[in-house]
Amino acid sequence: MTKLHGITAAEFDQRFPVGSTFKYFPMIINPEFREVVSRSPAWALGHGAVVISVEGCAGCLSIEHMEPITVGTGPAVVVRDADGFWAHPATPEFEESTPYSECMDWYSKQGLEVKGHYMEGDSDDLTARWDDGDLSAVAEWQPKPPEGEGWYLWSIFDTEDGPYCEFARPAGDKGLL
C-alpha cells in the first residue's frame, strides 16, 4: 500500500495526475472501500489536510483515506485543462527531443496501437481560430477517433504544427470481439 499521509499537494499532483484511480476508505475503522477517480489537482485546506475532488462526489476527499490503484493503459476519465489539453495518466514524460520511434516503442511495449491527427483534420473553423491566436479553440475541439472499434482518447497536446490528438486501443483489436 502506498502511503499518502504527509505528502504535499504538489507532490501528490506530480505522482498522480488528474484521472488517476484510487481506493477510498470512507472511515478508517471501516475496511470497505470504493473506487474513485480524481477530477482535480490536489490542494491543502487551511489546517493542512491535502484533498482532491473525485467523480461522483460534490465535496472533496482527504488523500489520507486513499490508496492509489496502479494506472493501466486502458481508457481513462478525460478531464481536460482550461486550454483543452490532456494526457492519459499512464503517459510517460517524453521530452520534446524524444525521437518518434522511441515513443512508438513505448506504446508497442504497452500493447497499444496509437493513431493521431491534427485539429485541422477535424475542424477548419477551429483551426482558423487557433491560427488567428484564439487559444480557446482547442478547448472546444472534440477530436474524432480513427475508423474502427475500440479507440479511446490518449492525449491532446500542442506541436509546432498545431494541436494534435492521439487515440489508442489494444494492439490487434480491430473490433472483432
Query: Domain spans of the chain?
Result: 9-68, 86-170
CB 64 within 8 A of CB 7: no
Q: How would you class 105 by CB atoms within 10 Å of its CB: exposed for 0-12, middle for 13-18, buried for 19 or more?
A: exposed
pLDDT tens digits, 109-144: 888 999 999 999 899 999 999 999 999 999 999 999
Measured between alpha carbons, how far is 98 from 22 in angstroms, rounded to an integer?
A: 31
State the pTM of this model. Answer: 0.61
The per-residue pLDDT for 173 is 57
Measured between alpha carbons, how far is 128 from 137 in angstroms, rounded to an integer?
A: 9
The per-residue pLDDT for 174 is 53
Half-sphere exposure for 164 (CA within 13 Å, toward CB): 10
pLDDT tens digits, 19-73: 778 888 766 566 677 788 888 888 888 888 888 888 878 778 888 878 777 667 8
Q: What number does CATH give the domain 9-68? A: 2.30.30
